[in-house]
Amino acid sequence: MPRSGDSLFQLTPKEGEPKHSKVAIMSRSSNGVVQALLTDLYQITMAYAYWKSGKMDDISVFDLYFRRNPFQGEFTIFAGLEECIKLMQSFHFSESDIEYLKTVLPSKTDPKFYDYLASLSANDITLSAVPEGEVVFPKVPLITITGPLAVVQLLETPLLNLVNYASLVATNAARFRMAAGPETTLLEFGLRRAQGPDGGLSASRYCYLGGFDGTSNVLAGKMFGIPVKGTHAHAYVTSYITLEDLKIKTLTSLDGSSEFNFIDLCLKYQKELAGVIGFLPDQVMAGELAAFISYAQAFPEGFLALIDTYDVLKSGLPNFCTVAMALNDLGYQAQGIRLDSGDLSYLSNEVKARFVKVANHYSLPWFEKLTIVASNDINEDTIHSLNQQGHSINCYGIGTHLVTCQKQPALGCVFKLVQINKKARIKLSEDVDKVTIPGMKNVYRLYGADGTALVDLLQDSSEVPPKQGDRVLCRHPIQESKRAYVIPASVRALHEIWWHNGKVMKPLPTLTELREKTKQSLRTIRQDHKRALNPTPYKVSVSSSLYTFIHELWLESAPIGELF
């Protein structure tokens, strides 16, 4: 092990080679929960300094929140809470963790500190939070952690890690859902571009929560019960060269009554369809037809073909229709096609037009309702643009832009001390947006008569909750002149206690329930807060009493400067 210990922040040569460990790459313990050691070193050094000065058990309150909504939007979906709660259940340092830390901390570190570390758990922590899947806004504490200062600090990094990406990608998924509309199927195809294996799994899980319908990630299907979807790749098509590559010629009809020479049947339809939808059989790629035939033989009831390997209109689509019509003779209905390149608006409309022609010619109404999947590097703006241009896509497969959140690849959640030993603390900043809202707070969402959320209100935890029908003064936390009276038709306390006294306090919703929760919560948010272009900011306010308190504490905490 390297001994970086005596120079916690030194520039000079490392002592010893970083040993390339052959141990497993495991960010999580065998129960799937993240390890306590998945934290920043400064949490450990701070824990030591707190312990050394006898401050480690000071009862502290930290808020986890973000300062700005992602993607130039005005809302965020809160996700990752279940994983945070599970971290509470399993939080501890193993013997081997302690051994490792002994190599990192200075050699003069008091050995009793390691006994202290080994004794830690999250049993004295109270975690209250907004329910997972709720729409949330800047400055509102998503999670509030109360407990011994040193333990709470150790939890900072893993909590931020678990909430930041989960909420970001769930929000991204919700935005794609709003762009695509409720009727379009949305599939997450991001595994190959995610931040490693676990990044891919998190993406699948939280995109589903945010409103996607399924994923291509099989392991995510197995672990989380998310529907898994997919057909074939270009390589499947190019792996066939001619019809002679087909070793099996036949296919049995759906009712099992007879076996057909499926290739001959396809060739018959190829000729017929040339006239119906307009193509030249000698421009059709034989290898592509062979690939489609073999795929249909494997999945006669689930035939969906990728039609852009060579030329969509001259080869891919003719070959698809050919095989689909042959399948129809045997009692099977094909499912549709996928486009992975080109002008998706134009091509999807052309494809649809030819489907209509086939449907009319053969009196097969289902043929015009075939699925048209698009999957070429699609982002939120692409969908808005396709909507404007007009298209016939009814399913999107979305990878890179969804899981990497290209438009904004990080949500800036922070974790700030707001109270210690019952004294409220404030963190000042030259940037007033970064000033923390001090003290232990309650968060209320005030709704109008139609169930729409009007405003979020933070109060000191000692204040009386706002009541429906009351006239409630809601103030901007910083700007004196910004304030408004609101008469809520209903009021909801957003925070619930999820972990207390070493116990999970409420049943954790299933992933399907969380997905439903997200949908419902989004429905309570006004459309102008949700729209893609220039959305209206939702207001997060503080009570009059909290406003006064913030500003008193601010003056108390700031050094008096020179003349402004």
Kindly tell me which of 35 and 69 has the beta carbon lying closer to its own copies.
35
Q: In this chain, which stretch among 66-74, 125-133, 353-361, 406-414 interacts with its own copies, using CB under 8 A?
A: 406-414
Query: Can you say whether residue 439 is alpha, beta or left, with left for phi > 0 and alpha for psi between -120 and 50 degrees?
Result: left
* Six-digit token string for 45: 């050094």
* DSSP codes joined into one string, 126-182: EEEEPPTT-EE-TTS-SEEEEEEHHHHHHHHHHHHHHHHHHHHHHHHHHHHHHHH-T
Q: Quote the least distance from Cβ 17 to its own copies, whole Å.
A: 5
Alpha carbon of 513 to those of 98, 133, 209, 276, 345: distances in Å?
A: 39, 9, 9, 47, 35
Q: Quote the least distance from Cβ 390 to its own copies, whole Å.
A: 20
* Six-digit token string for 525: 């948010």
138 contacts: CB under 8 Å, gap ≥ 6:
65, 66, 67, 68, 69, 540
User: How far is it, in rounded angstroms, from Cα 12 to Cα 28?
Assistant: 32
For residue 14, how far is the Cα from the chain centroid?
39
Give backbone dihedrals phi and psi of 195, rounded to 5 degrees, phi first: -75, 75
Q: Is residue 336 a contact residue for its own copies (CB under 8 A)?
A: yes
Q: Quote the least distance from Cβ 479 to its own copies, whole Å.
A: 21
User: Could you say which of 79, 81, 378, 511 contacts its own copies (CB under 8 A)?
Assistant: 511
Q: Is residue 221 a contact residue for its own copies (CB under 8 A)?
A: yes
Kindly tell me which of 250 and 527 has the beta carbon lying closer to its own copies.
250
Q: Is residue 507 a contact residue for its own copies (CB under 8 A)?
A: no
Kindly tell me which of 234 and 492 has the beta carbon lying closer to its own copies.
234
User: How far is it, in rounded angstroms, from Cα 214 to Cα 185?
Assistant: 8
User: How far is it, in rounded angstroms, from Cα 222 to Cα 500?
Assistant: 31
CB neighbour class for 258 (10 Å; exposed up to 12, middle 13-18, buried from 19): exposed
Q: Is residue 333 a contact residue for its own copies (CB under 8 A)?
A: no
DSSP one-letter code for 12? S
Q: Is residue 307 a contact residue for its own copies (CB under 8 A)?
A: no
Q: Quote the least distance from Cβ 325 to its own copies, whole Å.
A: 19
Q: Which amino acid is located at 310 in the chain? A: Y
User: How far is it, in rounded angstroms, from Cα 333 to Cα 272?
Assistant: 19
Q: Quote the least distance from Cβ 74 to its own copies, whole Å.
A: 21
Kindly tell me which of 430 and 480 has the beta carbon lying closer to its own copies.
430
Q: How many residues bind its own copies (CB under 8 A)?
A: 169
Give backbone dihedrals phi and psi of 101, rounded to 5 degrees, phi first: -60, -30
Give backbone dihedrals phi and psi of 132, rounded to 5 degrees, phi first: -65, 140
Continuous segment of H or E residues that includes residue 64: strand 59-65
DSSP β-bridge partners for residue 145: 62, 127
Q: Quote the least distance from Cβ 78 to its own copies, whole Å.
A: 16
User: How far is it, in rounded angstroms, from Cα 457 to Cα 470?
Assistant: 14
Q: Quote the least distance from Cβ 541 to its own copies, whole Å.
A: 24
Q: In this chain, which stretch among 229-237, 265-273, 321-329, 441-449 interacts with its own copies, using CB under 8 A?
A: 229-237
Q: Is residue 482 a contact residue for its own copies (CB under 8 A)?
A: no
User: Could you say which of 65, 71, 176, 189 contacts its own copies (CB under 8 A)?
Assistant: 189
Which has the closest alpha carbon to 168: 382, 484, 401?
401
Kindly tell me which of 140 and 220 has the beta carbon lying closer to its own copies.
220
User: How far is it, in rounded angstroms, from Cα 153 to Cα 416?
Assistant: 10
Give backbone dihedrals phi and psi of 530, rounded to 5 degrees, phi first: -100, -20
Q: In this chain, which stretch among 266-274, 359-367, 505-513, 522-530 interacts with its own copies, using CB under 8 A?
A: 505-513
* Six-digit token string for 415: 């974790």
Site residues for its own copies, 453-472, by CB under 8 A, read none
Kindly tell me which of 362 and 554 has the beta carbon lying closer to its own copies.
554
Q: In this chain, which stretch among 98-106, 138-146, 454-462, 471-479 interacts with its own copies, using CB under 8 A?
A: 98-106
CB neighbour class for 12 (10 Å; exposed up to 12, middle 13-18, buried from 19): exposed
Site residues for its own copies, 237-296, by CB under 8 A, read 238-239, 241, 245-248, 283-285, 294-295
User: Could you say which of 60, 146, 322, 379 contacts its own copies (CB under 8 A)?
Assistant: 60
Q: In this chain, which stretch among 220-228, 262-270, 350-358, 533-541 interacts with its own copies, using CB under 8 A?
A: 220-228
Site residues for its own copies, 124-183, by CB under 8 A, read 149, 153, 156-158, 160-162, 164-166
Given a contact cutoff of 8 angstroms between Cβ atoms, the answer to whether 166 and 129 are in contact is no
User: Could you say which of 167, 297, 328, 541 contacts its own copies (CB under 8 A)?
Assistant: 297
Site residues for its own copies, 15-34, by CB under 8 A, read 17-21, 23-28, 30-34
Q: In this chain, which stretch among 400-408, 450-458, 492-500, 529-537 interacts with its own copies, using CB under 8 A?
A: 400-408
Q: In this chain, which stretch among 344-352, 417-425, 456-464, 484-492 interacts with its own copies, using CB under 8 A?
A: 417-425
Q: Is residue 563 a contact residue for its own copies (CB under 8 A)?
A: no
Continuous segment of H or E residues that includes residue 117: helix 112-119
Q: Is residue 52 a contact residue for its own copies (CB under 8 A)?
A: yes
Q: Is residue 487 a contact residue for its own copies (CB under 8 A)?
A: no
Q: Is residue 89 a contact residue for its own copies (CB under 8 A)?
A: no
Q: In this chain, which stretch among 93-101, 348-356, 443-451, 525-533 interacts with its own copies, using CB under 8 A?
A: 93-101
Q: Quote the least distance from Cβ 350 to its own copies, whole Å.
A: 15
User: How far is it, in rounded angstroms, from Cα 106 to Cα 41?
Assistant: 13
Kindly tell me which of 204 and 541 has the beta carbon lying closer to its own copies.
204
Q: Quote the least distance from Cβ 373 to its own copies, whole Å.
A: 7
Q: Is residue 380 a contact residue for its own copies (CB under 8 A)?
A: no
Q: In this chain, which stretch among 119-127, 188-196, 383-391, 439-447 interacts with its own copies, using CB under 8 A?
A: 188-196
Q: Is residue 422 a contact residue for its own copies (CB under 8 A)?
A: no
Given a contact cutoff of 8 angstroms between Cβ atoms, the answer to whether 473 and 108 are in contact is no
Q: Which amino acid is located at 485 in the chain? A: Y
Q: Quote the least distance from Cβ 90 to its own copies, whole Å.
A: 11
